[in-house]
Amino acid sequence: MNRTYPIWEQHCCLPLQSNASIADLLRYKRPEGSYVSVNVGYAPQSRADSTALVKSFAWQARVEYPEITPVQTIGDVVEIQQSGGIALGFDLEDSNPLDGDPDNIAYFYDLGVRSMLPTYNHVNAAGCGCLDADDTGLTAYGRDLVAEMNRVGMMVDGSHCSVQTGLDLATATAQPMIYSHSNLRRLWDHPRNITDDQAKACAGTGGVIGINGVGIFLGVNGPTDTQARLEAMADHIEEAVNLVGVDHVGIGSDYSFDAEDFLEEIDHHASSFSDMYTKWGPLQWVPPEDTLTLDVVLRRRGFDEPAIEAVYGGNFARVAAQVWSTDE
C-alpha cells in the first residue's frame, strides 16, 4: 500500500522584501498537511530588516491566506497538518540580524523564528563559513549564541558554516542540532556540502540533516535536468541514511521562490558568495511539486513506509518537539 505523509520542509526562500507575497507557499499544500520554514534574513539583514519580513509574512498568513498558519508550538504544527493546512515557521540564515545582541534570539523566537545559522558562507563574529580558506571554527560569541538558543528553544543550524564551526556546534549544543539544507560532500565535492564527520557529529547530538534540491550542491545544475536533479536529491537522502541512519535525515529543499532575486543577490552581495555559486551557470532547484513526489522515488528505491515517514517529516518533527519551548 502506497501512503503519503505530512511533509516538513525545513528551509525555503521567499523574496527578502517585506512587500513580497507568501502566495507561492501554497505550492506545498497537500491533504496530509505541511510544515514550511521560510528564511527571513541572512548576512545583509539587520534586526529591523528581518523583523519587517517576519511580521509581513505572518500577517499575510493570518489575514490573506487561511490555508497558511504561523505556529508557536509543535502542537500547533500537528493540529494544522491534521487539518490539511500549511504550518508556517521562520528561520535565520545568519546571526547578523541579531545586531550583535544574543538577547535578540528570544526576540526572534517570539516572532516565530525556530532555527538559526551562526554564519553564512563567510567569517563573522560567531565563527567561520563554508567558503572561508582559514577555518578557525566557532568563536566564544558563537558559543554564547548556542547556549542562548538552547535556553530559548531555537534549533542550532550548521548549514553554510565551515567544517570546524559545524563540528564545534555539535560539541557546544546541549540539544540536537540540525543541518537544515545541506548535502553530502562524499557525493559531490562542494564546500557548501558537509563532510562525513559533520554528518556523524550532527547525528550524535540526535539531530537531522535536511537534504536540499539545489543543482550546484547536487552536481546536477543543467536547466533541463529536472528529473536527474530529483534523483540526485534522492541519492543524497539514501547515502545519508546509509551513513548516519534513517532517524537523522530529512528534507530542506532550499527552494528559492525568489530565484531571479537570488541571482541578483549573488551579483549585488558578491562578498557573501564565490565562484562556487556561479561557475556552473544560473542556479537550478528541485521545485516543491517534485519534492512532494520524493515518497514515490524513495519507495521505488526500497524504503519502507516508516523510513519514508521519518524522512518526509517525522525526524524534524521529533527534534522540534525536543528543542522548541513548550511555553504557550
What pLDDT was estimated at residue 270?
64
With a cut of 90, say whether residue 287 has pLDDT above it.
Answer: yes
Phi, psi for residue 13 in degrees, rounded to 5: -130, 125
What pLDDT was estimated at residue 61?
98
- Whether 265 is covered by a domain: the verdict is yes
Report, as an integer, the average pLDDT of 223-230: 96
- Whether 2 is covered by a domain: the verdict is no
- Whether 229 is covered by a domain: the verdict is yes
What pLDDT was estimated at residue 280?
79
C-alpha cell at 298: 524513495
What pLDDT was estimated at residue 46?
98
Q: What is the domain range of residue 101?
A: 7-323
- Whether 328 is covered by a domain: the verdict is no
With a cut of 70, say whether residue 268 has pLDDT above it.
Answer: no
What pLDDT was estimated at residue 212?
98
130, 162 contact by CB (below 8 A): yes
What pLDDT was estimated at residue 325?
87
The domain total for the chain is 1
CATH number of the domain enclosing 126: 3.20.20.140
C-alpha cell at 187: 557525493
Rg (CA), the chain: 18
Q: pLDDT > 70: what percent of the chain?
A: 96
- Whether 283 is covered by a domain: the verdict is yes
CB-CB neighbours of 103 under 10 Å: 10
CB-CB neighbours of 102 under 10 Å: 18
With a cut of 70, say whether residue 267 has pLDDT above it.
Answer: no
How does the average pLDDT of the chain come out, rounded?
Answer: 95
- Whether 310 is covered by a domain: the verdict is yes
What pLDDT was estimated at residue 4?
85
- Whether 15 is covered by a domain: the verdict is yes
